[in-house]
Structure 1
Amino acid sequence: MSQSDMPTMRSKRLGSELRRLRVARGLRVSQVAELLECGQPKISQIENGKRGIRQIDLTLLLDKYGATDEKYRQSLKQLARDVHKVDWWSSQGPLIHDTLRDYLTLESDSELVRSYEPTIIPGLLQTEAYMRQLFTLVRPAERVEALVDARMKRKELLEQHPGFKLCAIVDQLALHRIPGHPEQVVEQLRYLDEAGQRPNVMLQVVPLKAQLPVDQYVPFCLFTLRGDASIDVAWLEHATGGTLLEQRHDVQNYAQVWAALTAAALSPSDSRSCINDLVKEVRP
């Protein structure tokens, strides 16, 4: 299989959505293949993300599947056009692994990211010094600078794309685990305080005294994909990479967890006060 035929995060998302529409309509692969006048393997490849789809064929499928909402149709058509879009991380080679590429694609394609981190500062809100300390602890030395550069590049979403919004919930424990000497700790805390004042950032801190179920202490992100606010996906982080959840009941479960975390966390203004109080404690 050539590189251009390899599944991408966008092609897998598109294929998954088309499969969901077909199944909901009660149609077999053979019936769809007959509509497009092609073999059944082609339909399977499209739904598995291993093959792109022409706009004319996509229009036929959306009509057949009863997808009439124009905003939704346009979002899928744009996704089909972007299947093999060349992103900035495409040139990074093996320094950026496939799981991170998938995450970066989701992040880049989103208009809203809701991120919960129980133990570290969210990537988009990290200082360069914090990143370097973090990567040095867990990554080979030869990869550290490339990973730092990639994460700094990601932060352009906040600085150069006003339509992008980040809602971040951070456990207070993460604020007490910032690595480095006191000056670096204060730098990171002040950066969080400044970020929380941006119009496209909402930052909340979960206080140490908050009572939450154990299963909510898991880092995750909810991505609202640009173009259609009805398409949300969840991303769970773990030691070996990440897992994408697209089934609506799974996403809804994490949306409920997010609501519980939001309720348990301090308000944005109180969160900034908490951060500034910690600055006073740490300041050398």
Structure 2
Amino acid sequence: MPAGGRPTVRSRRLGTALRQYRHAAKIDQPRAAEIIAASQARVSRLETGHVTARVIEVRLLLDAYGVKDPVERAKLEELAKHSKNRGWWLEHAEQLRPDYLDHIALEDDATYIRQWQPALVPGLLQTPSYAEAIIAAGPDYIAPDVLAQLVKVREARQAKIGEGGASYAAVFWEVAVVHPLVSIDTHREQLSAILTAMKRKNVTVQVLPLSAGVLVGSIPAFSSFSFDSEPTVEAVAMENLRGTSVLEDPKDLAAYGNAFDLLRSAALAPEASARLIRDVLRGMKEE
């Protein structure tokens, strides 16, 4: 069973894929249970992610469902192998919400990460001092030791990008560049850090102009994740006041994939975005 008795992101992703392939093959759960010599209840729990499928079960089911693509089969077998693995983030599990742990697990598995943030610098680009200021400004009181831990977790999340482990694209509104929400020193440091990040081959940053106000108001902050060699959206995480919601329905994924494409098209090109950030930095130094 996944740790803690609740589905992990990996076990849930695997279960969702197995259920979709079973439906496509027009095979019911009793027949799937016969294929792996198990109970129908186990098949149901496999498909909801409440139990972790063994690799042999995955192979037998994919054979029965007619899934021949070697890349897809390998991906699902890897999910079965690693569904129970403890990620680095579980060391902080006592201080982190389960939905936030899911978000981090998605990032850790992703090959493509896309972030849209209408008011702030996206989390995967935040400096420690900027992150500390933003987290501390939230509506809930956070003890100093917990705050320090949350900042440390945010830094650790960024290692995936810094090491080139995923292709990362971020779009955020110009307000986050021209209007400091934190101290001037922290804002200056943050803008410089964005320019440094933009030099990485796996990072693309674009600023959405102030003139795109209506577009900004219609699309809430979100992160999307892809897990293959193509950037097809396979999961979306949306942060809200009390937690993070993970969306996996195909219609939701298509909608957020289209939303990011719309934002990216309306945003300044990466080169123009870098010029804007440099101009703002230059103006701050002159002041």
Tell me which interval the TM-score lies in, with the shorter structure as reference length.
Answer: over 0.9
Distance across 2 between alignment mates of 1:58 and 1:228: 23
Match of 1:123 in 2: 123
1:120–1:177 contact (8 Å) kept in structure 2: no
- Give the Å deviation of 1:227: 6.1
Q: Does 1:157 align with 2:151?
A: no
Instruction: Identify the residue that residue 266 of structure 2 maps to in structure 1.
Output: 264
Equivalent residue number for residue 237 of structure 2: 235
Structure 2: runs of 5 or more not aligned = none
Equivalent residue, structure 2, for 1:85: 85
Larger mean Cα displacement after TM superposition, 85-94 or 145-154: 85-94
Separation of aligned partners in 1, 2:251 and 2:174: 29
Give the CA deviation at 1:217.
2.8
d(CA) in 2 for partners of 1:72, 1:225? 11
Partner of 2:73: 73
Aligned-pair CA distance for 1:247: 2.3
- Cα separation, partners in 2 of 1:35 and 1:235, compared to 1, 3 Å: same
CA RMSD of aligned residues (A): 1.9
How far did residue 229 of structure 1 move?
5.3
Query: Does the Cα contact within 8 Å between 1:119 and 1:177 map onto a contact in 2?
Result: no
Look up the SS of the partner of 1:155 in the other structure: helix
Using structure 1 for the length normalisation, give the TM-score: 0.93
Deviation at 1:200, TM superposition (A): 1.1
SS at match of 1:249: helix
Pairing partner for 1:172 from 170, 174, 189: 174
Equivalent pair of 1:136/1:144 in contact (CA under 8 Å): yes
Q: Which amino acid aligns with 2:152?
A: D
Q: Which of the numbers 141, 150, 158 marks the counterpart of 1:147?
A: 150
The answer to whether the Cα contact below 8 Å between 1:12 and 1:47 also exists between their aligned partners in 2 is yes
Deviations 1:51-76 (A, max 9, x none): 11111111010111111111011001
Letter in structure 2 aligned against 1:155: Q
Q: Distance in 2 between matches of 1:193 and 1:228?
A: 26
Please tell me whether the aligned partners of residues 30 and 40 of structure 2 are also in contact (alpha carbons under 8 angstroms).
Answer: yes
**Are residues 228 and 14 of structure 1, via their aligned partners in 2, closer, same or farther at CA, if it must alter by over 3 Å?**
farther
- Give the 3-state SS of the residue equivalent to 1:210 in structure 2: helix
Count of aligned residue pairs for this structure pair: 283
Between the aligned partners of 2:216 and 2:119, the Cα distance in structure 1 is: 14
Q: Which of 87-96 and 199-208 deviates more?
A: 87-96
**Following TM superposition, by how much is the alpha carbon of 1:193 offset from its aligned partner in structure 2, in angstroms?**
1.2
Match of 1:181 among 180, 183, 201: 183
Report the CA distance shift for 1:141/1:282 in structure 2 as closer, same or farther (over 3 A).
farther
User: Which deviations, in whole Å up to 9, do the C-alpha atoms of 1:125-159 show, x marking residues without a partner?
Assistant: 10111011111112512420010010111111122
In the alignment, the residues of structure 2 paired with residue 9 and residue 76 of structure 1 have an alpha-carbon distance, to the nearest angstrom, of 13
TM-score, normalised by the number of residues in structure 2: 0.92
Q: State the 1:16 CA deviation.
A: 1.2
User: What displacement does 1:248 show?
Assistant: 2.1
| Gaps in structure 1 of 5+ consecutive residues | none
What is the Cα deviation at residue 93 of structure 1?
Answer: 2.9
